[in-house]
Structure 1
Amino acid sequence: MLDGDGSDRRSSGDATASAEHLKPLAKVTLPQEIVASIVNLIMARVWKPGDRIPPEKELTSRFGVGRSSLREAIQSLVILGVIDARPGDGSYIRSGTSELLSGAFEWGLLLGEQNLDDLVAMRVLIEVECADRAAAARDAGLARALIGLVDEMRALTDQPQAFMRLDNRFHELIAAGAGNTLYLSLSRTIQRLVGVWYTQTYELERTKSATLDEHLAIAKAIEQGSPPRARKYMREHIQRAAVRLHRVLARKT
């Protein structure tokens, strides 16, 4: 409550209680600031779908940043599906990005890792249920496709970006196998958003090995038509992936 001179008369006890519920603000890195600046240009229609973004030299000068930070920011936007990088031709703004960007900013996903745990919780809610339904459907074709993807991933452990695309495809197939279009739409959006962070963990060989084992366990549970095992292995995979990511991020701070 404000008294006559505009000062806050709330008791110190109330202030202390409120402070106990405040979370520390996440640190925003330079690449994240660049991402936010680029997204602002897109949302303001300064850069429109189909536009070729300026060359690296011009962008580093405009933003006053180094090449490595700029490249990390651009790669994050490529993973999000906002920018289309064409080797030998440059990078272009992709169409249909406005809805994704608006949602990402609502969740605070482009501005730091403070909501990572919330996103992991959302993944558990959606993807565990998808795994359950996919296993209950007993679709032999789906199971073969999932196991095939794991084999493809195993052959691409030296290519983090290709590995991640197959990882996303694995989860997308399970969401499609759940037979619910809303689950599929949500899963696609979540996979794009988490990819900005999770791609950082794929540089580690042990991470890729663990990911392959976890994916294979999920695929086998679906092949066996066991919803309980599919739920268990999907939940464990998401939670373990989050732990691995937190470790990588901790080393970078």
Structure 2
Amino acid sequence: MKKDILQNASQAIDPERIFATPREIVPIQRATLPQEIVKAIADLIRRGVWRAGDMIPAEKELATQFGVGRSTIREAVKSLAVMGVIESRAGEGSFLRQPSSEALAGAMMWGLLLSERNLDDLLEARILIEVECSSKAAELRGDDVPPRLYRIVEEMRNHFSDYSRFMALDNEFHVLLARSAGNVLYSTMAETIQGLVRIWYSATYDIPGTMDLTIAEHMRIVDAVRDRNELAAKEAMRAHLSRAGSRLKLALG
């Protein structure tokens, strides 16, 4: 198995592009800031100097080309790896990953977690993304989507005493709705937001009536999606997210 994986990986690499040393690489003046290296590498990718699948030069070579220390390069490469831009393959090197929405999701996750206004930012992002997802889901949804959403809501009714399961079903509801919108970026952003929702929103369950209200709000969304009523779906989702945000602020004081 390992041999096959390595063989397939080697076949996907263009030998002429390995360890490319583009003339565009210039020394970085602010050598103490790995962020500058990240920006410089991003610019190389944007301009097509490096492309998906390319093996990037080794740490030592990059340090020489950019005119910085190896520790600076190491930090920059780690940052790009966390964001999903670069992947390391044992015994081979570091490669630029194929374009995907994972980098965007990672950037969103860190930005929302570290922002000084993170709760307000999270609510605003949810409204912008999930309201549009609801509208698109109502427009494009398949025949199986409303029944699946109704089943999730019904299962939520059966788990009032299990906060963890109720939260998981709540997340599942929003993710399924986003996926029904037919846009992979919407779906990925919604999934990322739901990861943040799990961090904070469980606190709202201590507020009496929260679960009943959540289910009623979800039902209005599903009814609109079932009827292919895009405007009603948007309004129902906007109302749900605004009320959920208010409940969260109340729970957190």
Identical aligned residues as a percent: 39
Residue 205 of structure 1 and its aligned partner are, at CA, apart by 4.1
Equivalent AA in structure 2 for residue 141 of structure 1: D
Give the corresponding residue for 2:223: 220
CA contact (8 A) 2:136 2:180 kept: yes
Give the corresponding residue for 2:249: 246
SS in 1 for 2:130: helix
SS in 2 for 1:179: coil
Residues 1:125 and 2:128 are matched in the alignment: yes
Q: Aligned match of 1:191 in 194, 208, 222?
A: 194
Call closer, same or farther: CA 1:120–1:111 in 2, change over 3 Å. Answer: closer
Alignment of 1:1-253 (within 5 A): 103-107=108-112, 109=113, 114-250=117-253
CA contact (8 A) 1:138 1:224 kept: no
Q: Normalising to structure 1: TM-score of the pair?
A: 0.57
Give the corresponding residue for 2:63: none
Q: Which runs of 5+ in 1 are unaligned?
A: 1-44, 46-96
Report the count of equivalent residues.
156
Call closer, same or farther: CA 1:203–1:139 in 2, change over 3 Å. Answer: same
Q: CA RMSD in A?
A: 2.6
Q: Normalising to structure 2: TM-score of the pair?
A: 0.57
CA contact (8 A) 1:211 1:237 kept: yes
SS in 2 for 1:125: helix
Residue 139 of structure 1 and its aligned partner are, at CA, apart by 2.2
Give the corresponding residue for 2:62: none
Residue 195 of structure 1 and its aligned partner are, at CA, apart by 1.6
Residue 106 of structure 1 and its aligned partner are, at CA, apart by 2.9
Q: Tell me how far apart the structure 1 counterparts of residues 221 and 128 of structure 2 sit (CA, whole Å).
A: 16
CA contact (8 A) 1:160 1:203 kept: no
Residue 103 of structure 1 and its aligned partner are, at CA, apart by 4.4
SS in 2 for 1:140: coil
Q: Tell me how far apart the structure 2 counterparts of residues 205 and 163 of structure 1 sit (CA, whole Å).
A: 15
Equivalent AA in structure 2 for residue 242 of structure 1: G
CA contact (8 A) 1:135 1:230 kept: yes
Larger RCO, structure (CA 8 Å, separation 6 or more): 1
Equivalent AA in structure 2 for residue 128 of structure 1: V
Residue 140 of structure 1 and its aligned partner are, at CA, apart by 2.2
Equivalent AA in structure 1 for residue 234 of structure 2: R
Q: Tell me how far apart the structure 2 counterparts of residues 154 and 119 of structure 1 sit (CA, whole Å).
A: 26
Residue 115 of structure 1 and its aligned partner are, at CA, apart by 1.8
CA contact (8 A) 1:136 1:226 kept: yes
Runs of 4+ in structure 1 off by over 4 angstroms are 97-103
SS in 1 for 2:144: helix
CA contact (8 A) 2:214 2:240 kept: yes
| Structure of higher CA gyration radius | 2
Residue 101 of structure 1 and its aligned partner are, at CA, apart by 6.5
CA contact (8 A) 1:139 1:223 kept: no
